[in-house]
Amino acid sequence: MKYGYFNDKNREYVITNPRTPWPWINYLGNEDFFSLISNSGGGYSFYKDAKFRRLTRYRYNNVPMDDGGKYFYIKDGETIWSPGWKPCRTELDEYECRHGMNYTVISGEKNGIKTSVLYFVPLNTWAEVQKLTISNNSGEKRKIQLFSFVEWCLWNAAADMENFQRNFSTGEVEIADSVVYHKTEYKERRNHYAFYSVNAPVQGFDTDRESFFGLYNGFDHPQTVFDGKPRNSVAHGWSPIASHYIELELNPGESKDLVFVLGYIENSEEEKWESKGVINKRKAREIIDRFDTSQKVDSALDELRNYWDNLLSIFTVDSGDEKLDRIVNIWNQYQCMITFCFSRSASFFESGIGRGMGFRDSNQDLIGFVHQIPGRARERILDIASTQFQDGGCYHQYQPLTKRGNNDIGGGFNDDPLWLILGTTSYIKETGDFGILDEMVAFDNDMSVARTLFDHLTVSFDHVVNNLGPHGLPLIGRADWNDCLNLNCFSNDPNESFQTTENKSEGSKAESVMIAGLFVAYGRDYADLCRRRGREDEAARALNLVAEMVDTIKKFGWDGEWFIRAYDFFGRKVGSNENEEGKIFIESQGWCTMAGIGSDEGMCKKALDSVKERLDCEQGIVLNNPAFTKYIIEYGEISSYPAGYKENAAVFCHNNPWIMIGETVAGNGDRAWEYYRKICPSYLEEISDLHKTEPYVYGQMIAGKDAFRPGEAKNSWLTGTASWNFYAITQFILGIRPDYDGLIVDPCIPGSWKGFKVVRKFRNAVYNIEVLNPNGKSKGITELVVDGERQSSNVIPVFGDNREHSVKVIL
């Protein structure tokens, strides 16, 4: 069953039934000020950091689902309703939610009154703008009472949910004109306040939650709204809110617009106050003035649309398959941008207070958005690298507000450093900017020990070399990419974290074949980079070490039919036919086949066939098989999950593209495509009931064949799945791959495809690429013609001439 439809022309998903199987959300803002918004108006806002600068409250995992948001209540006689259906849940005559690129429009109609709210964060603005249009579609004159509503969060979202003995006494507001200002803690250590305005006179307001709702009422039953009477309450402590009350009279056919602005202001110490105890509102008034008419709001929305037109014009495919085109051209690229902004911090599955930016996550995310915003990718790489330690290890996470490593989790995840090589080389391949390698970058944020970014890559590479285990394979540390394979943590205490408990790391012997594969892949990239920098000796050293690793993997990492996953603390095989459960894992098959390890000896082919046979199922490729059915203390968290979920044999979508790419390296276009299609959300729209999460974005996991309910997805939006699938489809299946000297064209497609077209903007030129497949091949180019000239290789040269170039490719 579907709950809406794609409107590709407008780049929107249009939800027509508010009772989606899970809140289907969108993100507003793409720079400093952000909001999450569900299809019924739920969600919250924050400035930069969802933990430290939370503006409004949201209630995770509440009953009813999705409570807390930017709500509007309409009182029309005795009928009380909300345009997004929630929170009132009054049955609407019409309902529609249009999620677009960084904007959302929610509309409801009841008894001839239609209310439509456009929500977005204008470019370069620390505010969310809401344009509410209310229309009288009935034949008679109508009087309507309108109440807005937001609930302030007391800034630190974690403290806001626990320190009530303090919180209930600190809340402070000011009310002036039609604006509610939230200034809790402003007089002490904070230099910021928030405000909520409307561009019309109000006939009343509320700023105290209890006065607005009545103590025991829910969001669906604010007493003021039911009474049709605001209380003009002024919050002192407890829970401050902001609600405007507006009386409207509408003639038949008449429409009125109101513009609400929810903004965030920072003032320096000298300009904090207007007078004693009265905050300086100058900057707030400036923002309010920028959006005080509908025309101004509409032109800000146009700017946002242009911004997205631009971003999405860099890579477009015309494949003749609308499901593929819409995911590649619109939604997957959009999701990549969202992962850039939020890493794994704030979604409807990530509470915004848990994790900041992940070291490995952010580097992998980069491969999905570097073509769109190379300048910001550059900055991101330098930020990430600054949280590295001098020995090449690194903080696993950092906070976006402070850009400092997160001490609660620390380091010791031994795959982390290698991803910096992926992030950096992807950036240089896209832009040609080798200069980034000369940037001086701190270690652990300490500039006194700064070295060049190139040196950071060297220590990343050497961190593996310096941390080899008894078989000569890389030591796994706390975990590699799979956070739940905790081979050096023996935990019997439910109060310990699997990730940070290291009761066996002293003299640890657990080794990772996945890191070994990663080392081969990115070690070669590192060597390539060394050569391009004229560092032949270093390149040779690196290649020798890589060659040794290849031998080691063939010797100790091969199980006969597939690559083993790891060696546990005691040196026993993990992911081997010898094991009872967890005989085969996806990660090492992905990394070793992508790197082509043992391809001459037939290892890659065997490994990929084993994946097909043992891990593939209707929902995608599961992470391991057989799933673990009992807790194995030597393995840790992975065996804590019920079979078929998360890292224990779910289709963990992030790693499926590794196999897709492995298949393209082996030339199997049909299989690569089959795997791609299985987990791609636009192909799952019809089964939304089962799939549950948004059909326009990837989720982290889909319950696998061993699960109680296979096919159910979770953790939508913030996942490496977004960038890896974009990378797999565009660079390996469609095969348009940026490289140092140009654009490589190397498709690997199903034999039945007749061809496709791609427009790619690359280093200041536009390439109109047409791929034809007259002979039903999967891979291998017969002819490449650029601007009428036949090329001798499959690399399209860099022109950089701001012109369009025609590229014809025959497989």
Stretch that binds ligand GLC, among 260-268, 427-435, 449-457, 478-486 (CB under 6 A): 478-486
Exposed/middle/buried for residue 283 (C-beta within 10 Å: 0-12, 13-18, 19+): middle
Closest residue to ligand GLC in the complex (CB): 483
| Residue 480, burial from CB neighbour count under 10 angstroms (0-12, 13-18, 19+) | buried
Beta bridge partners, 275, equal 278
Tell me how far, at minimum, the Cβ of 446 lies from ligand GLC, in Å.
25
Mapped onto helix, strand or coil, the DSSP state of residue 476 is: coil
Pairing of strands 804-810, 783-786: antiparallel
Q: How many residues of this chain bind ligand GLC (CB under 6 A)? A: 15
Q: What is the DSSP pairing of strand 142-155 with strand 71-76?
A: antiparallel
Using the minimum distance from each CB to ligand GLC, give the nearer residue, 109 or 637: 637
Q: Give 637 or 706: the residue with its C-beta nearer to ligand GLC.
A: 637
**Which residue lies nearer to ligand GLC by CB, 182 or 344?**
344
> What is the DSSP annotation of 267-310?
--GGGSEEETTEE--HHHHHHHHHTSSHHHHHHHHHHHHHHHHH
CB of 498 to ligand GLC, least distance (A): 6
The residue (of 333 and 715) whose beta carbon lies closer to ligand GLC is 715
Among 27, 95, 481, 569, binds ligand GLC (CB under 6 A): 481
CB of 719 to ligand GLC, least distance (A): 6
**Using CA atoms, how far apart are residues 41 and 348, in angstroms rounded to an integer?**
13
Q: How far is the CB of 421 from ligand GLC (least distance, A)?
A: 17
484, 597, 608, 722: which one binds ligand GLC (CB under 6 A)? 484
| CB-nearer residue toward ligand GLC: 122 or 358 | 358
Binding mask 715-734 for ligand GLC (x = CB under 6 A): ----x---------------
Helix (H) or strand (E) holding 586: helix 586-594
HSE-up (13 A, CA, CB side) for residue 616: 18
Q: How many CB atoms lie within 10 A of CB 334?
A: 26
How far apart are the C-alpha atoms of 362 and 424, rounded to whole Å?
Answer: 11
Which residues are CB-contacts of 79 (< 8 A; sequence separation ≥ 6)? 90, 110, 111
Of the two residues 240 and 720, which places its CB atom closer to ligand GLC in the complex?
A: 720
Q: Which stretch, 169-177, 222-230, 333-341, 477-485, contacts ligand GLC (CB under 6 A)? A: 477-485
Beta carbons within 10 angstroms of residue 442's beta carbon:
17
CA dihedral sign, ordered 450, 456, 462, 463: positive
For residue 447, the minimal CB distance to ligand GLC (Å) is 28
Quick one: tokens of 312?
């999405």
Whether 45 contacts 27, CB under 8 Å: no
**Is residue 712 close enough to count as binding ligand GLC by CB under 6 A?**
no
Please tell me whether residue 83 adopts helix, strand or coil conformation: coil
Task: Pick between residue 182 and residue 565 the one whose CB is nearest to ligand GLC.
Answer: 565
- C-beta of 621: minimal distance to ligand GLC in Å? 14
Minimal distance, residue 703 CB to ligand GLC, in Å:
14
Q: By CB under 6 A, what part of segment 343-382 binds ligand GLC?
A: 344, 358, 360-361
CB of 623 to ligand GLC, least distance (A): 9
Q: DSSP for 52-80, please give it.
A: TSEEE--BTT-SSSSB-B-EEEEEETTEE
Distance of closest approach, residue 512 Cβ to ligand GLC, in angstroms: 13
Q: 3-state class of 617 per DSSP?
A: strand
The radius of gyration of the chain's CA atoms, rounded to the nearest angstrom, is 28
Closer to ligand GLC by Cβ: residue 45 or 388: 388
Task: Select from 34-42, 122-130, 482-490, 706-714 the region that touches ligand GLC (CB under 6 A).
Answer: 482-490
Whether residue 524 contacts residue 422, with contact meaning beta carbons closer than 8 Å, is answered with: no
Range in contact with ligand GLC (rule: CB under 6 A) among 459-467, 480-488, 546-554, 609-617 = 480-488
Strand residue runs (E) in 576-707: 584-585, 616-617, 620-621, 624-625, 651-652, 699-702
Candidates 60-68, 475-483, 511-519, 548-556: pick the segment binding ligand GLC (CB under 6 A). 475-483
- The reply to whether 483 belongs to the active site is yes
Q: Which of 483, 525, 568, 706 is catalytic?
A: 483
C-alpha 794/C-alpha 769 separation (Å) is 12
Q: Which stretch binds ligand GLC (CB under 6 A): 207-215, 437-445, 646-654, 746-754?
A: 646-654
515-574 residues in contact with ligand GLC (CB under 6 A) are none
**Residue 553 DSSP SS3:** helix
Give dist(CA 241, CA 219) in Å, integer.
12
Is position 499 an interface residue for ligand GLC (rule: CB under 6 A)? yes
When binding is defined by CB under 6 A, the residue of 482, 501, 579, 778 that contacts ligand GLC is 482
The interface with ligand GLC within residues 649-678 (CB under 6 A) comprises: 654
Helix orientation angle between 513-532 and 536-556, rounded to the nearest 10 degrees: 160
Binding test (CB under 6 A) with ligand GLC, winner from 208, 350, 416, 483: 483
Backbone angles phi, psi at 79, to 5 degrees: -90, 130
Over the window 611 to 640, marking each residue x when it contacts ligand GLC by CB under 6 A and - when it does not, the resulting string is: --------------------------x---
Query: How near is the Cβ of 486 to ligand GLC at its closest, in Å?
Result: 9
Residue among 242 and 479 whose Cβ is closer to ligand GLC? 479
Instruction: Kindly report the three-state secondary structure assignment for every residue of 407-467.
Output: CCCCCCECCHHHHHHHHHHHHHHHHCCHHHHHCEEEECCEEEEEEEHHHHHHHHHHHHHCC
Our finding on whether 416 is near ligand GLC (CB under 6 A) is no
Separation of alpha carbons 552 and 558, rounded Å:
9
Please say which residue, 330 or 421, places its beta carbon nearer to ligand GLC.
421
Dihedral pair phi/psi, residue 778, rounded to 5°: -105, -40
Q: Which is nearer to ligand GLC, 13 or 717 (CB)?
A: 717
Q: 87-107 in b/e burial notation, b at 16+ Cβ within 10 A? A: bbbeebeebbbbbbbbbbbbb
Q: How far is the CB of 360 from ligand GLC (least distance, A)?
A: 5
Pick between residue 158 and residue 176 the one whose CB is nearest to ligand GLC: 158
CA distances from 695 to 4, 33, 224, 435, 733 (A): 9, 26, 38, 40, 22
- Least CB distance from residue 339 to ligand GLC, whole Å? 10
DSSP secondary structure letter of residue 93? S
State the SS3 of 696-722.
CCCEEEECCCCCCCCCCEEEECCCCHH
**Contact residue for ligand GLC among 700, 716, 723, 773 (CB under 6 A):** 700
Task: Assess contact for 767 and 807: CB atoms under 8 A.
Answer: yes
Closest approach of Cβ 699 to ligand GLC, in Å?
11
**Whole-Å CA distances, 465 to 67, 405, 574:** 50, 24, 22
In the bound state with ligand GLC, the residue whose beta carbon lies nearer, of 99 and 344, is 344
List binders of ligand GLC among 309-348 (CB under 6 A): 344
- Would you tell me which residues interact with ligand GLC (CB under 6 A)? 344, 358, 360-361, 481-484, 499, 637, 646-647, 654, 700, 719
Active site residues: 483
